[in-house]
Amino acid sequence: MPESSFNPNAAATAGAGIFGLPFTAEQSAIIIIPVEWELTTSYGRGTADGPAAVKEASMQVDLHNHDYPDLWEKGIWLDAFPDDLRRLHDDLLPVAEVIIEAAESGDLERKPQHFKKYYDKIIEATEKKNDWLRKRIAYWREQGKVVGLLGGDHSIPLAYHQYLADQGQSYGIIMADAHLDLRNAYEGFQYSHASIFYNILKLQHVEKLVQVGIRDYCHEEADFVKAQEGRVIAYFDRETRKQQFEGRSWAEQVQQMVSHLPEKVYVSVDIDGLDPTLCPNTGTPVPGGLQFEELMYLLNMLKISGKEIIGFDLCEVAPGPDDWDGNVGARVLFQLCGISC
């Protein structure tokens, strides 16, 4: 229950929690775990600072959510990313850059063994982060909390799916993204943000993956989708828009998307699934994509369908010269919280 002195109509005060809320972790139904990690991003960087940008922008979000007006009363609490893991990440950024520059110059292909020591460092660090994150998710879930992740790049949710697999949970995933993220070890990185769903689909408990907003992908990924024989269903933005131009409604399309999913669903939102005018500083923006209200409608229809939301993540928010990306990210995060409890 909210603190008796808290006024949800007032401006957020200094020192308040995410969204300006007054709750402790114990008082909150929803725990957001920030994951400040982006070692494998090779185009634009900044997502490691995404959680801080979303937190700052969240202080300007009015608490009467249009669809879930009492959401704030449930309590939302932002966990902390360990300082030692952030230092490890920052120390390894130059190591990752060596690999990325070698991939771009062709040196990686010519003498791959030379770079094995660099890859080993990245793998070791990522597995250390994943181990911490799995244990942190388990800690909060065992207390009956709804748990969401806030990235960081899109590699971070692997630990959540490893946790769910350890629990013997069978479920489906719906994701909004500009990319299929089904590459095998992109630029040689085993835990690449571009390989996240390739890695997740190794877990047999994932029954279905529904991908929405897709508009940038390679031949390898297109072949992978076909080879999955229906386990992966990709809604390519070009085809979705073509159907709309010819008279099909977004409501009809969303109904079909949701119908593919089993009863338990994990939701993954890469902010670049949106039109890049809504996230201009994300690492790999692509023209096209979902409008903000299209994403809200999709999330709400998923909730209305009666599916059980068992976890969620928001990734790839990167701060820019103003608060715009964080502003949009904070509102997406608030809605994800709303559909999850």
pLDDT for the residue 44: 79
What's the one-letter identity of residue 33? I
User: Cα separations (Å) of 174 from 193, 208, 234, 235, 241?
Assistant: 17, 8, 10, 11, 19
- Residues written for the chain: 341
Q: Tokens 């460092």 identify what position? A: 121
Give the burial class of 195: count Cβ atoms within 10 A of its Cβ; 0-12 exposed, 13-18 middle, 19 or more buried: buried
The domain locations on the chain are: 18-340
Nearest to 51 by CA among 338, 285, 315, 278: 315
> In this structure, which topology does domain 18-340 adopt according to CATH?
Arginase; Chain A (3.40.800)
Tokens, residue 72: 């704030």
Q: What is the Cα–Cα distance from 228 to 132, expressed in whole angstroms?
A: 31
CB 178 within 8 Å of CB 273: yes
173 has which bridge partners? 209, 266
**Residue 306 per-residue DSSP state:** T
**Residue 218 per-residue DSSP state:** -
pLDDT for the residue 147: 98
Tokens, residue 124: 């070791």
pLDDT for the residue 42: 77
- Give long-range contacts, CB 8 A cutoff, 24+ apart: 93-98: 93/39, 95/121, 95/122, 96/39, 96/40, 96/122
User: Cα separations (Å) of 6 from 26, 31, 80, 261?
Assistant: 17, 20, 23, 39
Residue 19: left if φ>0, alpha if ψ -120 to 50, beta else—which one? left
Q: What is the Cα–Cα distance from 115 to 330, expressed in whole angstroms?
A: 38
Judge if the upstream peptide bond of residue 152 is cis by omega within 30 degrees of 0. yes
pLDDT for the residue 76: 98
pLDDT for the residue 4: 67
pLDDT for the residue 117: 93
Give per-residue burial for 60-80: e unless 16+ CB within 10 Å, then b.
ebebebeebeebbebbbbbbe
CB 319 within 8 Å of CB 52: yes
**Helical ranges in the chain per DSSP H:** 50-58, 71-74, 83-105, 107-110, 116-141, 158-166, 196-200, 219-227, 237-245, 250-259, 292-304, 324-340
Task: Give pTM, 2 decimals.
Answer: 0.96
What's the one-letter identity of residue 217? Y
pLDDT for the residue 51: 98
Report, in angstroms and rounded to the nearest whole number, the Rg of the chain calculated over CA atoms.
Answer: 19
**Mean pLDDT per 10-residue interval, the chain, length 341 residues:** 78 94 97 97 90 98 98 98 98 93 86 88 97 98 98 97 96 98 90 96 97 97 97 98 98 98 98 98 96 98 98 97 96 98 90
Tokens, residue 173: 């995933």
Helix axes 83-105, 116-141, angle to 10 degrees: 140
